[in-house]
């Protein structure tokens, strides 16, 4: 028998040697240490695979043992302690009282939703015009404040409640996470910023409501949406008075710290007086639309006594306008001198009717400080009939006379109703200006004439001129 050689194995070994010598030559050429590339020091492939499998199995076994012996919560807590991240928890309520910061965060984050957000909550309150968008649970929202990264997450937690209780079995809370070094910035700057922005967003989207006395309800007030379209741009009043009133309103809502500093209730009283049809009620609506304040319309004829008056005041909310129209004839309020002359009620109960003293306490006494950003408006057709005590500073801070239609008021009405400017109809406007100096007509009367059906502006203005001339003749006949 001849000797057999395994030529293929011999060839492979030879090739490997050749490759190794080539490697050594490259090492020598680049002056690299040959010890790093010793062929004999390289482990066999089977050895490498066996070691990797053993290491993987050991890691899996360690993880299993660790998870059995060490609870997951402890592991998470350990990582949190080692982390540089700080988490602030903001719960939905503190017992029975809703947390203002939680609601503010809900509103603020609703405006910070990003394309990466997968779930949102949308609702439509019955008496609101717009949809309300809020974040859903377990949806991280990242907000950047002064280059600082803040991550918000809405979380929920089950809580035990009695079986027959109507209380919620779920506690909601926000987790706000950020780097520990930003703690002071978050607490003193960022969270106050969230509160401020949420208030601005809420005010911007707020639907203004009109509240009226409703003794059948639980809080003495019933409400509907106030859809009155009046604005300061459409008000036919003296332009200077309009500017002064707007400036006063804006100053009032921005003086919270001032009222706190001087120790006064954050409220302001206005008296609108003038003949019927001069726009007193429309001005109240324009104020409400400008400030986004709810309106509480109080008819004193429906109020039985001073105690009811106090309850109604407590039932009004902040950022509201309380209106008592036609104060001179709404109820037979007697002067304080008359009250003293009559003496106490013979039945021994001085609180079974509305008195001027009760109304003054309502406007300027301790009960008037039960809230912030309150505006009280009295309207009357006869200012001279009002008791002087009602008009003193501190009760009525601003008096606005709503007079007959001026030429400036007419130009506003013409622009609103006919969409025509003075320069487009100079001759007709000039004749109307002269007539308004001679006759007293209310803005409501002018608006009524401008609304009469016609598509031709010149015909409408011509009819208005004829009507004003008739008024002028009537005045002359009465005078003579």
Averaged over 277-304, what is the pLDDT? 90
- Could you tell me which residue, 372 or 62, shows the higher pLDDT? 372
If you average pLDDT over every residue of the chain, what do you get?
79
- One-character DSSP codes across 141-160: EEEEETTEEEEEEEEEEE--
pLDDT digits (tens, 9 = 90+) for 181-199: 999 999 999 999 999 999 8
Q: Which CATH number fits domain 210-401: 3.90.1300.10, 3.40.50.300, 3.40.50.2000, 3.60.20.10?
A: 3.40.50.300
Cβ proximity of 460 and 452 under 8 Å = yes
pLDDT digits (tens, 9 = 90+) for 439-454: 999 999 999 999 887 7
Closest CA to 449 of 415, 414, 473: 414
pLDDT digits (tens, 9 = 90+) for 5-41: 444 544 444 454 445 455 445 545 555 454 454 545 5
Task: Give the angle subtended at the CA of 103 by the CAs of 100 and 105, to the nearest 5°.
Answer: 105
- Beta-carbon neighbour count of residue 148 at 10 Å? 15
Helices (H), 292-406: 306-314, 327-330, 336-342, 356-364, 388-391
Q: What are phi and psi of 432, to 5 degrees?
A: -65, -40
**Tokens 């001179």 found at:** 328
To 10 degrees, what angle do helices 356-364 and 306-314 make? 20
* pLDDT at residue 336 tops 60: no
pLDDT of residue 384: 85
pLDDT of residue 166: 58
The pTM assigned to this predicted structure is 0.65
């Amino acid at each position: 028998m001849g000797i057999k050689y395994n030529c293929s194995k011999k060839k492979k070994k030879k090739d490997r040697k050749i490759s190794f010598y080539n490697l050594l030559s490259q090492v020598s050429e680049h002056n690299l240490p040959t010890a790093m590339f010793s062929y004999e020091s390289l482990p066999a492939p089977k050895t490498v695979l066996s070691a990797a499998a053993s290491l993987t199995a050991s890691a899996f076994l360690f993880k299993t043992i660790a998870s059995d012996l060490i609870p997951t919560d402890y592991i998470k807590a350990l990582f949190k302690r080692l982390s540089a991240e700080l988490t602030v928890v903001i719960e939905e309520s503190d017992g029975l009282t809703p947390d203002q910061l939680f609601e503010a965060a809900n509103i603020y984050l609703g405006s910070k939703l990003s394309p990466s957000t997968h779930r949102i909550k949308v609702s439509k309150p019955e008496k609101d015009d717009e949809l309300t968008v809020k974040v859903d649970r377990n949806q991280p929202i990242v907000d950047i404040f002064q280059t600082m990264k803040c991550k918000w997450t809405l979380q929920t937690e089950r809580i035990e409640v009695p079986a027959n209780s109507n209380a919620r079995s779920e506690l909601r809370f926000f987790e706000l996470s950020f780097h520990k070094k930003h703690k002071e910035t978050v607490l003193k700057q960022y969270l106050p910023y969230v509160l401020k922005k949420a208030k601005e967003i809420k005010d911007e989207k707020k639907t203004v409501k009109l509240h009226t006395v409703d003794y059948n309800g639980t809080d003495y007030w019933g409400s509907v949406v106030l859809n009155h379209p009046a604005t300061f741009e459409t008000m036919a009043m003296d332009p200077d008075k309009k500017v002064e009133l707007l400036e006063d309103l804006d100053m009032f809502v921005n003086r919270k710290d001032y009222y706190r500093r001087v120790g006064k209730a954050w409220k302001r009283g206005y008296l609108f007086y003038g003949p019927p049809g001069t726009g007193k009620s429309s001005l109240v609506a324009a104020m409400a639309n400008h400030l986004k304040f709810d309106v509480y319309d109080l008819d004193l004829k429906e109020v039985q006594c001073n105690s009811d008056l106090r309850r109604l005041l407590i039932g009004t909310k902040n950022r509201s306008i309380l209106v008592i129209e036609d104060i001179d004839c709404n109820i037979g309020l007697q002067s304080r001198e008359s009250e003293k002359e009559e003496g106490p009620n013979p039945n021994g109960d001085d609180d079974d009717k509305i008195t001027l003293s009760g109304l003054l306490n309502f406007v300027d006494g301790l009960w008037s400080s039960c809230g912030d950003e309150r505006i009280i408006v009295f309207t009357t057709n006869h200012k001279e009939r009002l008791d002087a005590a009602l008009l003193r500073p501190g009760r009525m801070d601003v008096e606005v006379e709503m007079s007959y239609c001026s030429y400036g008021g007419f130009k506003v009405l013409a622009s609103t109703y006919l969409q025509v400017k003075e320069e487009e109809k100079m001759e007709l406007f000039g004749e109307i200006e002269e007539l308004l100096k001679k006759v007293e007509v209310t803005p409501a009367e002018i608006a009524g004439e401008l609304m009469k059906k016609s598509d031709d502006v010149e015909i409408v203005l011509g009819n208005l001129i004829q009507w004003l001339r008739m008024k002028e003749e009537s005045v002359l006949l009465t005078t003579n």
